[in-house]
Structure 1
Amino acid sequence: MSTADTFAPRLCLLGRFTLTCGPTVLDVGTAAQRLLAYLGLRHHGTRTVVAGTLWPDVPEERAHGSLRTALWRLHRGREPLVCSAGDALSLAESVTVDARTLMDSALHVVDASPLALAPSPELFFAGDLLPGWDEDWVLFERERLRQLRLHALDALAHRLLAEGHHALALEAALESVRVEPLRESAHRAVVAVHLAEHNVLEAVRHYLVFRDLLDVELGVEPSARFVAMFPTATQARLMRLTRE
């Protein structure tokens, strides 16, 4: 990594908002944080759209004024973090965004590209997108990223299992379960790892815990596909347990 890369601005949106430049944490204020997060997730936007999205409950003129203040604060005494081309705003190319890297890594894994080429698969285990922010546009982006992360974790677990990396596959599957406890495909991935290691007891225990959770939360049973993963004798015992 070059010195320029080391000191390039980094925008962290997974977990608590953080903007750094090398070892220095930059304090830009709440409004500028919202602007950077918006552009970090959506890449660009017109001034009118950005102002209306970030300040939806105030008159248009005041929203534009708040946007101008946020831009001034970001540009004050430092290299601009936001670029302006006419009416369009975008994040400076020098700024790296962890959420964008996560998206790239997730799409890389889902597309079945070589795992070694994924930008940063460790971000699959990072925190949620901007927890505590409740604006509509953040909620939309959080759910979009959550779904992409879940699909990537499922794909990663199965690929690692196929390559014989059982411990890593289990970590990916359990992270998917943590993100969405009612997601059956994640639980099937956990059970697949246990069965691959011939840990039938662990597989059955995990299945039964998920079955009980599903019954309490949704009043339904796991799919027949899930039960079919087990050896025939175990399937029969699981069916009896279900009827009981």
Structure 2
Amino acid sequence: MPLFSVHTLGFPEIRRDDRLCPLPLRKGVALLVYLAEATGAVGREVLATMLWPEGREEVVRARLRRLLHRLQLTLGDDVLSIDRSTVRWSSAVSLQLDSQLFEQACDRSEFEWACRHYSGDFLEGFSPGDCPQFDEWAFFRREALRGRAIQALERVVHDRNAAGDYASAAAHAGRLVELDPLSEVYGRQLIRNLLLAGDRLTAQRHLAALTQRLRDELNVAPESATRALLDADASLPVEHPPSTRYVSGDGVHLAFQTYGAGRIDVLLVPGFVSHVERVWEEPLCRAFLSALTEMGRLILLDRRGIGLSDRVGFNPSVHATAQDIGTVLDAAGSRRVVLFGASEGGPACIKFAAEHSDRVAGLVLFGSLAKGSATPDYPHALQASQYDTWLRQLVAGWGGPAGIETFAPSLAGDPQARAWWAGLLRAASSPGAIKGVLEALRDMDVRPLLGRISVPTLVLHREGDRAVRIGAGRHLASHIAQARFVGLDGADHWVFAGDQQPVLDNIRQFVGNLNLPTATSIR
């Protein structure tokens, strides 16, 4: 049985028994890669339309027949299984696909192996030409694999640093910088590990390069935490974020952090994307999180499929995220908690509070909603068709600061905030994955749970919020027995953007009025 290796990480290659197959036809390479990724039969009409989108039906069918014939002449008659309606790789050959091997290694948490074998972005530098459908498919696949590569590199940097292997941590951090050169978080990881490895000269060179990139691309200077790295005590950076821990629940590894101490725990469940390490990179976000620690111990998590937590092969539901909340609370040793649900994080907090009131001291909902799309009895969200249009626009802008004008109009003109948001999106998810997450949120409805919430609840919503209408917040408050609604000035959907002080003052007052025992957690 011949072995065919399909190399897609980097410029594509097809090898038979380790010998390079000469395939001068770009559309032939595209077809073989697409079939390998599909892992099954693909309709001839699908292939013809994808490769010749503008041709007449009889013309593109003839072109596909000629292309398949030439591929069989080059590779052998036994390589492709072709019938009247479908095409697939033949079961008579052994097929090895590097992108699938990479993903399987990530699934097994073999992150170092995955990093070694991620030799480039998916189909890097390749296009069959005049095939927008194929190029769009390749873009989504590229971003998904790139996101997993970033996640794998982050895990290896963390593990190598914890093991004291600073040279290896620096090498992997260097690859992160190559993937996202404007990220100060990755730049600091590289410089810090170089310093810990004793290579101060290289660390100085990378700091200078990072400073130049930020000035040229964003017209900003590095943050004080970055500039301070080369001071005498640079091995411990200024404002060092909390360490990331992992817990396994329901077969999924969840990333979480705890920060600070106090009589109460505050668990923050963010919106549709999160990244427990990169949130500390944005100065306003870092200031907001630090202020929350003045009220108690802060717990952050990345729900399954997002950020540093395991990617999953399905769209995380409200039920799954509520399970993740319980798993992380158990791992953090928290008995009673104030749940803080921001935006799309609110529904999972609502579900957990409704079903586990014994563990919840209070519930804070900011810019949140009970239902993802509008119906005649719920006019506070976008119509499903409007939602889908917005989703397509968001996905189309992925890789850049997609949606920042809606989420944070006060920061939309800030080049550093735009670069941070774009980097967080790329690190937290991919266009294809986030499309599924947001489709699940579109179909979400936790209204039946609102009447079951028996804990004190604070609902905060900015009057001019462009992402979630204020009527959604009023609806929550009117259907939760012990809820208090506070409307705030401003149009920012992100809780840390705009004027933070009224948000913090209301949360501080709310937490202070809770009837808390002297000890609320086991630590």
Q: More deviation in 167-176 or 91-100?
A: 91-100
Query: What's 1:35 paired with?
Result: 31
Query: What's 1:242 paired with?
Result: none
From 16, 20, 37, the counterpart of 1:21: 16
Q: 1:186 to 1:47 in 2, by over 3 A?
A: farther
Query: What's 1:123 paired with?
Result: 117
State the number of aligned residues.
224
Q: How does 1:108-187 map to 2 (within 5 A)?
A: 108=108, 113-115=109-111, 118=113, 120-124=114-118, 126-134=119-127, 135-187=135-187
Q: Distance in 2 between matches of 1:184 and 1:42?
A: 37
Amino acid at match of 2:66: T
Q: 1:144 to 1:220 in 2, by over 3 A?
A: farther
Q: Distance in 2 between matches of 1:156 and 1:193?
A: 13
Amino acid at match of 1:123: H
Q: Distance in 1 between matches of 2:160 and 2:207?
A: 21
Q: 1:138 to 1:216 in 2, by over 3 A?
A: same
- Aligned to 2:176, the other structure's residue is in SS state helix
Counting helix residues as a fraction of each chain, which structure ranks higher?
1
Query: What's 2:447 paired with?
Result: none
Q: 1:202 to 1:121 in 2, by over 3 A?
A: closer
Q: Distance in 2 between matches of 1:199 and 1:23?
A: 40
Cα deviation, residue 35, structure 1: 0.4
Amino acid at match of 1:35: L
Q: 1:183 to 1:46 in 2, by over 3 A?
A: farther
Larger RCO (CA under 8 A, 6+ residues apart)? 1
Cα deviation, residue 198, structure 1: 5.3
Q: Distance in 2 between matches of 1:58 and 1:182?
A: 42
Q: Distance in 2 between matches of 1:72 and 1:91?
A: 14
Superposed CA offset, 1:140-191 (max 9, x none): 3333333332232222222222223322222211122223322333223212
Q: Distance in 2 between matches of 1:138 and 1:225?
A: 38
- Aligned to 1:95, the other structure's residue is in SS state strand
Q: Is 1:67 the counterpart of 2:60 in the alignment? A: no
Superposed CA offset, 1:35-60 (max 9, x none): 01222334443322222112222223
TM-score (norm 1): 0.72
Q: Distance in 2 between matches of 1:28 and 1:206?
A: 41
Amino acid at match of 1:162: A
- Aligned to 1:56, the other structure's residue is in SS state coil
Cα deviation, residue 131, structure 1: 3.4
Q: Distance in 1 between matches of 2:140 and 2:150?
A: 16
Query: What's 1:215 paired with?
Result: 215
Amino acid at match of 1:8: L
Q: Distance in 2 between matches of 1:179 and 1:22?
A: 32
Amino acid at match of 1:24: R
Q: Distance in 2 between matches of 1:227 and 1:88?
A: 59
Confirm or deny: 8 A CA contact 1:11 1:96 kept in the other structure: yes
Q: Distance in 1 between matches of 2:77 and 2:167?
A: 44
Unmatched segments (≥5 aa) in structure 2: 128-134, 239-523
Q: Distance in 2 between matches of 1:182 and 1:144?
A: 20
Confirm or deny: 8 A CA contact 2:111 2:152 kept in the other structure: no
Cα deviation, residue 106, structure 1: 4.1
Q: 1:224 to 1:41 in 2, by over 3 A?
A: farther
Q: 1:230 to 1:57 in 2, by over 3 A?
A: same
Query: What's 2:469 paired with?
Result: none
Q: Which runs of 4+ in 1 moved over 6 A?
A: 227-233
Q: Distance in 2 between matches of 1:64 and 1:222?
A: 56
Confirm or deny: 8 A CA contact 2:5 2:18 kept in the other structure: no
Query: What's 1:240 paired with?
Result: none
Amino acid at match of 2:89: L
Q: Distance in 2 between matches of 1:170 and 1:138?
A: 30
Q: 1:224 to 1:46 in 2, by over 3 A?
A: farther
Cα deviation, residue 201, structure 1: 6.3
Cα deviation, residue 122, structure 1: 1.7
Counting strand residues as a fraction of each chain, which structure ranks higher?
2
Confirm or deny: 8 A CA contact 1:41 1:141 kept in the other structure: no
Structural RMSD (CA): 3.4
- Aligned to 1:10, the other structure's residue is in SS state strand
Percent identical residues: 25
Q: 1:188 to 1:106 in 2, by over 3 A?
A: farther
Cα deviation, residue 220, structure 1: 3.4
Confirm or deny: 8 A CA contact 1:13 1:97 kept in the other structure: yes
Amino acid at match of 1:127: G
Cα deviation, residue 29, structure 1: 4.4
Cα deviation, residue 23, structure 1: 4.1
Q: Is 1:56 the counterpart of 2:49 in the alignment? A: no
